[in-house]
Structures are given as C-alpha cells and as structure tokens.
Amino acid sequence: MASNGNPWFAVSLALVGIIVGYGVATGMNSSAPVGDRGTVVADDPTPEPPPPPSANLDDLPPVGDNDYVQGNPDAKITIIEYSDFECPFCKKNHGTMVKLMEEYGDKINWVYRHYPLSFHPNAQKAAEAAECAGELGGNDGFWAMGDMIFEKGSDNTELESYATEIGLNAAKFTKCLDSDKYADKVAAHMEGGTKAGVRGTPGNIVINNKKGEAELISGAQPFDNFKKVIDDML
C-alpha cells in the first residue's frame, strides 16, 4: 500500500488523538444527564481541563430531619453525596465514602441524597426502595438498603428480597414501594442538587459547617482527592 507523504496528514492525526484523549479524561469518572454531554471543539491543540464546578450553598437545601445521616451529627465537615444506585461510578464512590468515614471518625458526617438519571431504568425505584427501608427500619434500614443495592445490583425485581435480607417486613416494604409515596422526595433531591451545582453522578458537596464554605467534587474521585479537600477545611 502506498504511504501518504503529506506532512499535514500526520499533524491531523495527532490532533484527533489529543481531542479523543481529552474527552475520555474528563468523562471517565461520572455519569451525566444525556442533555449535558457536549462535544469537545478543538480550538487549541493542547486544551486544558475545565475548572472544577463550584457549589452554590445559597441554593443547597440544608440538612434536615428528612435526611439520612451517617456519623457524628455535630461534625465540623459534612459531605452531601448526590448519587444514583444504578451508576457504576456511584458504586465506586460509595466505597470511597465508607473509607472516609473510617479515616475521619467524628470529624465528618455523610448525607446521602438521590440523583437518579433518566437513562438508568432501575435507579428511580431503587431510590424509593431506600426511602421505604428508612421508613420501616429507620436510619440503619436506609443505609443497609443502600449498601445492599450497591453490593448486589439495582434490579427492581430483587428489591423485596433485599428488604427481607436486612430484616424488614416484606409485605409492608412492597406496599410502600408500590405506593410511589417517595417519588416526590426523590424529585426534590434532584432539583436541590441541580440548583446547588450538581450536573452528574456522583456529585459530592463537602461543607465546612463552621465557616459555611463548600466545594463540589464531581465524579468518583480518588480517596486522596477527598482527603486534600477535607484536610484543608479542618
């Protein structure tokens, strides 16, 4: 086969490689709503990553009685996680959050809020299932159901068996889940997260409760990335 001797051909190939690599690097740690997936435009052959999004505390719903909190309620640092039970990046993030709780003890607490993406067909009901588990089993029931879904999968046909496995009354759980009574709460979580700056899952808002400062960590970032933000706030 004859080779192409045009030097601009080689330059074009290099440029395409840079664009593709950049797109992969910026999207590999999170799931974003379909409408938010843009196209990278190559105005510069060596583009820089976009700046990290900021959290808007003015529009972030405060932690209240309707939230499920793990850890010291009076901790200096709160991490509000907006997550989707069907999102593989959220499963990875869940493990990081567990490790952070072990590392920092009473210095931090963890609030879970729902952000089920429309292209994940099981995510909405999985979120409602966690809420029903919380209704029947309290704070422990909510977190146990969340752990179970991330561990075993979000298949909606398995949710009743998960409820039984964590010690809940299966009939009461199914009645709650079939009622759609928590659909509005899940929708409110999504609306509040979006107003606060969340655009995909997982979205973690780290808050210094003493100073009222906040930083949004988007995507399933490594443990050390969270640690740096937390240590800077402590």
The DSSP letter of residue 199 is -
Strand runs labelled E in the chain: 68-71, 77-83, 108-114, 203-208, 213-218
Q: Was domain 57-233 assigned CATH 3.20.20.70?
A: no
122-162 pLDDT tens trace: 999 999 999 999 999 999 999 999 999 999 999 999 999 99
CB 139 within 8 A of CB 123: no
Separation CA 154–CA 15 (nearest Å): 40
- Which residues of the chain have a pLDDT value below 70? 1-54
What pLDDT sits at residue 34?
Answer: 46
Residue at token pair 């793990």:
70
What pLDDT sits at residue 56?
Answer: 74
pTM across the whole model: 0.79
Contacts of 166 (CB under 8 A, 6+ apart): 133, 137, 141, 144, 145, 148
